[in-house]
Structure 1
């Protein structure tokens, strides 16, 4: 009699090592996810083999493979054991629970620790002790009108606003010349937002203005909060020419800033085109605002990368940059109209695409962090499959900038694996 472990393993795809999704049956009777088979056929072409028994696949058209019938024993097992999948923390294939906050699958042993991580992040985000007593009272009064995530975002927005505000008038001491006494005269503090920068008066740019200039001049041209290093400008060259690229640099070398410089350059170009064509109704309809999305593997990195981009977009970042929360869903279409650059986990953005909340063809740039995971059934590869389908249909596809610190591999076929990675990311 089969043990529960053996039963669970029969529900596992041998390619992506996760729960079978839209399983197809091969001629050798082994079962594989549809997306995994598509990847195998595309990457290995005439050398495609079954990932379970290593037999060559004689048919290279995925349309010729059939889905499992409902009465197939694996189909029945999948419908019975609906809570079996790979834990996203320890990678064990067992019974899992879905996290209500990030929708990740967690086994019983990892679930509590995973929830505690979320709670710690919340406590840190909701901490309002930096505000004055009056400010705390205002913030607390908002709790009854907002849900937990919206209140968390409201706190962060308030903190960013206060940190970046300008004090126009401060407390002064006025001397009374008649009696020689001094009086404290506390004037009202007036908080002003930074002025709106007029991009129509900004110097017209080409990629060569960035590539061929000194770092100090690049800082002025792109209006950055930092002076880029020469190697960062070199690494941005391909992206500035509106070509897909993989940026591989060690941790701490500023890959996010490189991607940010490319995004800022494209943003400026689109803004100037909009200003130039605003007088003509016909041409302005054909041009829209620049739209980009920065994709990260885990939720904790969303706020981190958004904060880094604030050093790139120093002019009105709150109206340009937007972190996507779990409650966005159908609201994303409205958010798309309000903001220009979004920060999200890969899985969440893929879910938005599949649910038709977001349209890949309406983005100009996609930045993918930790891109070395773009294999098999990983969410990054799922996104890129949709990208390739659109490209084959002659639809508009966004520019890709992929970031990683470890593109290499110790496997014997390292070169072919690298080529397949670049092919998956359309960066060859």
Structure 2
């Protein structure tokens, strides 16, 4: 809503003090200067302290500015711009729906991610702040890792849609209000990351959290979850492209052909087999993550139930079942590892699959020749040590290790 709110007309914002605090923040942390000066100031009596929206508008309470010393205001400036630089609202939109609805808890987890870095950088912050230690949690994590351990609570904490993604009641929009586009925001993040790297090369000091963030911006690692999801979707689409004729549903052209029944084309849902390496070398956490990604993608594309078969295999196939999560797969020790056995068993079953997905650590022999179906190898746990040997070139391979670089480093 454009214009001046009635409550704001009687509230005078001490801009000199506020901008002096921003100047101090930018001078002490010059690598954040471009981002800090990209924030536009919107006075508001509706915001309790300070908050940001996704358009890089900073809403400021005049009474909060009056009551807060300049050093602490400088810390709040850095706190708020950290939400935007770390793309908290974009990351919040990728959370499960239940977490997105609880945006206050998300905000607390995000503040934990930011404030541990600020406190380690000896930045003074106002009383009442939250940090990992508030909940008995270790420092140095990202907010997605903190979120499951943040208990439900009644809190008025709200840093705005620039943090958790949900518009706050005090946020405004309309003509005359400055706005930073997503393209500009991406450029600001990269410019800040480059400034951090230059600051360090000049022998300046940068908190570890910002150093890791800059590394992820400048040298992003491939997100294996996206790669695996893309490979599974492509394989299912490829398998679903196979069409056949059926008389169960006659063609619409039959009505024009007297005495002749024409078949129609059908596009059946593909069958998928998941061969799970259950040898003792497999890590349960990585396996569960990979299994969750595969089953989630299959549900999204409509392949589920009796169209998905799971084979537990080390050097022999132990169980053939239809499960919906990794927790239902029993890991067993056993001797060696030979995923060829599981692949062969899947392809010789009565319900021959169109797509075979193998979840393994990669230390296994592979078929010598391409199979007649799409074969995807998801190599589990490769981030923990030396990479296993590469599967044959005709096998679609996704290496599953740590999450993207920033999250891993945290």
Compute the TM-score of the two structures, normalised by the length of structure 1: 0.24
Compute the TM-score of the two structures, normalised by the length of structure 2: 0.25
- Structure with the greater alpha carbon radius of gyration: 2
